Structure 1
Amino acid sequence: MRAEFGIFLTSLIPFPLTYILNTQQWMLNPNIVLVIGVIVLTLLVVLPSYLLRGTDKPEFILYVMSLFMFASMIDLIIALEADGILSEFMTFYLKEGEPYLWTPYGTMINYWDGTVHYSLCLWMLYCIYKRKSYRHVGLYWAGSIVNSLLVLVPGSILGKFGVKWAILLNLPYLFVPVWIAYRLLITRGNMAEKTSVTRSNSHGLFRKVLDIIFIVYFLYATIVDLLRGFIALGCQHELLQEYLYDHEPYINSPFAYSKVQMILYLMYFIPYYCFAIYGIINPGQPWMLDWALIYAGAAAQGQFSHIGGSIHPRTEPEYLVPSRPHSQQIFWLLNITLFIIPQLFALRTYLVSRPNNKKSRSKIN
Structure 2
Amino acid sequence: MSTATGVFLLSLTAVPVCYSMNLMSSMGDHRLVFGGACLVLAVIVFMSYLIIAFTGKQNKPSDLFFYVFSLFAFTSVVDLVIGLELDGVINNFVAFYLKEGEPYLNTAYGTMINYWDGTGHYCMYLMMVTAIVWKLNVVFSFSQKIKAQKKSIFQRPFDLMMVIYLLTSCVFSFIRMLAALNSPILFAQAYVKFYEPYLLDPVIYPKLQMLVYWFYLTPHSLCAIYGLLYPGCEWMSDWALIHAGAAMQGQFSHIGSSLHSRTPYALRVPIDSRSTFWVINLILLVFPQILAWRCLNKPAFFAKEVDPRPLKKEHLK
TM superposition score category, shorter chain reference: 0.7 to 0.9
Q: Which amino acid aligns with 1:39?
A: L
SS in 1 for 2:62: coil
Q: Which amino acid aligns with 2:16?
A: P
Alignment of 1:121 with 2:125, yes or no, is: yes
Shift of 1:3: 4.7
| Contact persistence 1:69–1:121 (CA under 8 A) | yes
Q: Which amino acid aligns with 1:14?
A: A
Residue of structure 2 aligned with 1:102, choices 101, 106, 116: 106
Pairing 1:190-269 to 2, within 5 Å after superposition? 194=142, 197-201=144-148, 203=151, 208-269=156-217
Alignment of 1:23 with 2:27, yes or no, is: no
Distance change >3 Å, CA 254–CA 351, structure 1 → 2: same
Residue deviations 1:262-299 (CA, integer Å, cap 9, x gap): 11101110110111101110123211111111111110
Pairing 1:59-138 to 2, within 5 Å after superposition? 59-133=63-137
Shift of 1:69: 0.3
**Which deviates further from its counterpart, 117-126 or 4-13?**
4-13
Distance change >3 Å, CA 65–CA 25, structure 1 → 2: closer
In structure 1, the partner of 2:277 is 331
CA distance in 2, matches of 1:61, 1:228: 37
CA distance in 2, matches of 1:130, 1:235: 52
Shift of 1:216: 0.7
Q: How many residues align?
A: 298
Is there any run of 5+ residues in structure 2 with no aligned partner, and where? 304-317
Which of the pair has the greater relative contact order for Cα pairs under 8 Å at 6+ separation?
A: 1
In structure 2, the partner of 1:145 is none
Q: Which amino acid aligns with 1:264?
A: V
Residue of structure 1 aligned with 2:220, choices 244, 258, 272: 272
CA distance in 2, matches of 1:250, 1:36: 38
TM norm structure 2: 0.83
CA distance in 2, matches of 1:66, 1:113: 14
SS in 1 for 2:298: helix
In structure 2, the partner of 1:8 is 8
Q: Which amino acid aligns with 1:242?
A: A
Q: State which structure, 1 or 2, has the greater radius of gyration over its C-alpha atoms.
A: 2
Is there any run of 5+ residues in structure 1 with no aligned partner, and where? 136-188, 358-365
SS in 1 for 2:233: coil
CA distance in 2, matches of 1:27, 1:42: 23
Pairing 1:277-288 to 2, within 5 Å after superposition? 277-288=225-236
CA distance in 1, matches of 2:250, 2:37: 26
Residue deviations 1:71-100 (CA, integer Å, cap 9, x gap): 100011111111122222112212221122
**Which deviates further from its counterpart, 345-354 or 9-18?**
345-354
In structure 1, the partner of 2:296 is 350
Distance change >3 Å, CA 127–CA 237, structure 1 → 2: same
| Contact persistence 2:258–2:269 (CA under 8 A) | yes
In structure 1, the partner of 2:251 is 303
Shift of 1:214: 0.8
In structure 1, the partner of 2:315 is none
SS in 2 for 1:84: coil
Shift of 1:257: 1.4
| Contact persistence 2:248–2:285 (CA under 8 A) | yes
**Which deviates further from its counterpart, 253-262 or 30-39?**
30-39
SS in 2 for 1:201: helix
CA distance in 1, matches of 2:7, 2:78: 15
Q: Among the aligned pairs, what percent are the same residue? A: 39
Q: Which amino acid aligns with 2:40?
A: V
| Contact persistence 1:33–1:96 (CA under 8 A) | no
CA distance in 1, matches of 2:256, 2:43: 33
Q: Which amino acid aligns with 2:289?
A: Q
SS in 2 for 1:69: helix
CA distance in 1, matches of 2:22, 2:161: 52
